[in-house]
């Protein structure tokens, strides 16, 4: 019997990204995949949830932005401090923030079509930078994000963002030389 996968993310932008892009890459491996925003849940409940997921022999991925921490190691230490039931091998750190993963998926052509600058790398892209890059013809940030997701290129994203590439390689989601999704 296949296991269940729980992907714990910080907020709504993460839910949108993981629901549209990442969930489809895991669908053949799990009986079900659930994406949960943990930032608005009390730490005690998150800790208990992580414990129960492991006790039921299911899998989880705990996703956090690096934000202003100096290194992945420092961010993980902070997470260990806040969540005593978290397992290090299940943590994924997004550098810098989830917006950098969105923007990484824009090919040169997609960037032109949407009307934004093409960036060679998004490793240093913060939410504020993403917001400044958003063309005025979009009614909202969410509309802009959905437009990016429509043309998101896995192949381009692994080239433009190192933490995204690490995530894809870690979970064997695509051939990173070609960017094509693996079964």
State how many domains the chain has: 2
Q: Residues with Cβ < 8 Å from 90, sequence gap 6 or more?
A: 59, 60, 61, 62
- Range(s) of the domain holding residue 47: 1-94
- Name the more confident of 183 and 133: 133
If you average pLDDT over residues 100-112, what whole number do you get?
A: 98
pTM of the full structure: 0.94
Euclidean distance between CA atoms 120 and 103, whole angstroms: 10
Can you tell me the distance from the alpha carbon of 81 to that of 8, in angstroms, rounded to the nearest whole number? Answer: 17
Q: Same structural domain for residues 72 and 126?
A: no
In angstroms, the CA 24 to CA 17 distance is 11
8 A C-beta contact, residue 70 and residue 14 = no
> Residue 68 pLDDT more than 80?
yes
Residues 19 and 37 in one domain: yes
Instruction: For 40-56, write each residue's pLDDT tens digit.
Output: 999 999 999 999 999 99
């Amino acid at each position: 019997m296949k296991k269940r996968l729980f992907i714990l993310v910080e907020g709504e932008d993460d839910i949108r990204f993981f629901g549209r892009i990442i969930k489809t890459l895991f669908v053949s491996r799990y009986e079900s995949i659930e994406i949960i925003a943990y930032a608005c849940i009390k730490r005690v409940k998150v800790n208990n949830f992580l414990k129960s997921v492991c006790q039921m022999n299911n899998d989880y991925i705990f996703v956090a932005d690096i934000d202003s921490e100096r290194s992945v190691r420092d961010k993980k230490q902070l997470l260990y401090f806040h969540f005593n039931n978290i397992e290090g091998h299940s943590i994924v750190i997004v550098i810098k923030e989830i917006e950098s993963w969105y923007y990484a998926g824009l090919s040169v052509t997609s960037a032109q079509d949407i009307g934004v600058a093409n960036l060679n790398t998004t490793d240093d892209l913060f939410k504020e930078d993403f917001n400044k890059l958003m063309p005025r013809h979009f009614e909202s940030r969410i509309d802009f994000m959905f437009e990016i997701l429509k043309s998101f290129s896995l192949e381009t994203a692994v080239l433009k963002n190192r933490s995204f590439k690490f995530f894809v390689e870690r979970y064997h989601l695509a051939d990173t030389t070609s960017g094509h999704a693996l079964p």
